[in-house]
Amino acid sequence: MGIIAGLERLEPELQSGLEQASSLSQVDDLYTAFLGRKGALAQLMGHLPELPAEERPAFGKAANAVKERLAELLEARRQFFLSESELAEFARFDPTLPGRSPRQGSLHPVTLVMDEICRVFTSLGFDTVSGPEVETDFYNFEALNLPKDHPARDMQDTLYVSDGVVMRTHTSPMQVRTMLERKKPPLAIIAPGKVYRRDSDLTHTPMFHQIEGLLVDQGISLSHLRGTLTMFLRELFGKSVNVRFRPSFFPFTEPSIEVDISCILCGGEGYRSKGEPCRVCKTTGWLEILGSGMVDPAVFKAVGYDEACAGFAFGLGVERVAMLKYGIDDLRMFFENDLRFLGQFT
């Protein structure tokens, strides 16, 4: 009888405790005291073996009913305090305060510049192509006239995934892929995308963006290359920019040409208005902007193009163009995700 009497006392004792509870934490304490693993109900259930066998089922049924009732009382009091908390929170809300508008997002400056470059070349009839960022040795090197012993294959420059598989070091493999796919000219493409190199310092990052271009047809000459790139750069940086072409070397073009533009900070003078040396062009008045050249016959041979074909190719780093276009002097700002910086390009 003592066990059954104890069972009957649990509900009134809990009700008394709940009436005195003044916070949600006190309700939680009562839950532990009555329904916890070592609570009052659990202790009573521990005496179940002391009852005669014929009385145990009735006691167990009564104990379950009491447990459900206790749980209901605790939950009701818990909901009361939760409601009180919500009302208190609402009471602190002042509907007369001005609202806070959500921050407006914007495209990343690298994306803006990449889109602008693509628009210029699209208006000239170039198609935009894309492809895998993990490339085979054939597409990334061999088909582009990069022999096995070329310095660009060195582990210090290239991120190797496995033997014969690399993270692409330029988007030029898309030139090879497109020529193999289309079988014969004419074709005019640009290939924007991410590229990867083992390089990381104030002016280089292991991942950056590049746009490669290719035009192949009959009778293409250096004058076509010069006219196309001059028009592109003046469209991008303004009609007043001067463009300079000078000889260079790239394995997949012959002849190869570096392209410079007049410094956008000092106007090509080399010095600022107060006679200060220009820190961007280092007083030369020129800024290197891209590499280009006539497609090497070895590249055409690798893709099975006729020897009568001619074409030009070019490539530029998008981050460098963005830095020049927006006057950004630290490459790391593109990757730090500082909303104050990115918000300037809304």
Q: CA dihedral defined by 283, 284, 287, 292, rounded to 10 degrees? A: -170
Tell me: do 59 and 114 sit in the same domain: no
Q: Give the long-range contacts of residues 5-12, CB within 8 A, separation 24 or more.
A: 6/40, 6/44, 7/41, 7/44, 7/59, 7/62, 7/63, 7/66, 10/34, 10/40, 10/41, 10/44, 10/66, 10/70, 11/66, 11/69, 11/70, 11/73
- Predicted confidence band at 116 (pLDDT cuts at 50, 70, 90)? very high
Domain count for the chain, please give it: 2
Question: Among 41, 63, 91, which residue terminates a domain?
Answer: 91
Tell me: do 37 and 159 sit in the same domain: no
Q: Is residue 103 part of a domain?
A: no
Beta bridge partners of 314: 213, 292
Domain around 156: 109-345
CA dist 166 and 146 (Å) reads: 14
Tell me: do 125 and 203 sit in the same domain: yes
Q: Is residue 98 part of a domain?
A: no
Q: Is residue 292 part of a domain?
A: yes
Tell me: do 8 and 84 sit in the same domain: yes
- Predicted confidence band at 296 (pLDDT cuts at 50, 70, 90)? very high
pLDDT of res. 164: 86
Q: Is residue 11 part of a domain?
A: yes
pLDDT of res. 100: 81
Tell me: do 173 and 257 sit in the same domain: yes
Q: Is residue 70 part of a domain?
A: yes
CA dist 208 and 137 (Å) reads: 20
Tell me: do 27 and 136 sit in the same domain: no
Q: Report helix angle 2-20 to 56-91, nearest 10.
A: 0
For 170, residues 6+ apart whose C-beta sits below 8 A from its C-beta are 140, 195, 210, 212, 315
Tell me: do 303 and 177 sit in the same domain: yes
Q: Is residue 318 part of a domain?
A: yes
Q: Is residue 210 part of a domain?
A: yes
pLDDT of res. 195: 93
Q: Is residue 282 part of a domain?
A: yes
**Range with the poorest average pLDDT among 107-111, 257-261, 330-334:** 330-334
Question: Among 64, 91, 118, which residue terminates a domain?
Answer: 91
Tell me: do 118 and 166 sit in the same domain: yes
Tell me: do 87 and 114 sit in the same domain: no
Q: Please state, as a whole number, how many other Cβ atoms lie within 10 Å of the Cβ of residue 132.
A: 13
- Predicted confidence band at 158 (pLDDT cuts at 50, 70, 90)? confident
pLDDT of res. 26: 85
CATH code (residue 245): 3.30.930.10
Q: Are 321 and 284 in contact (CB under 8 A)?
A: no
Tell me: do 186 and 144 sit in the same domain: yes
pTM summary value: 0.67
Tell me: do 154 and 19 sit in the same domain: no
pLDDT per residue as tens digits for the range 218-243: 999 999 999 999 999 999 998 989 99
Tell me: do 113 and 14 sit in the same domain: no
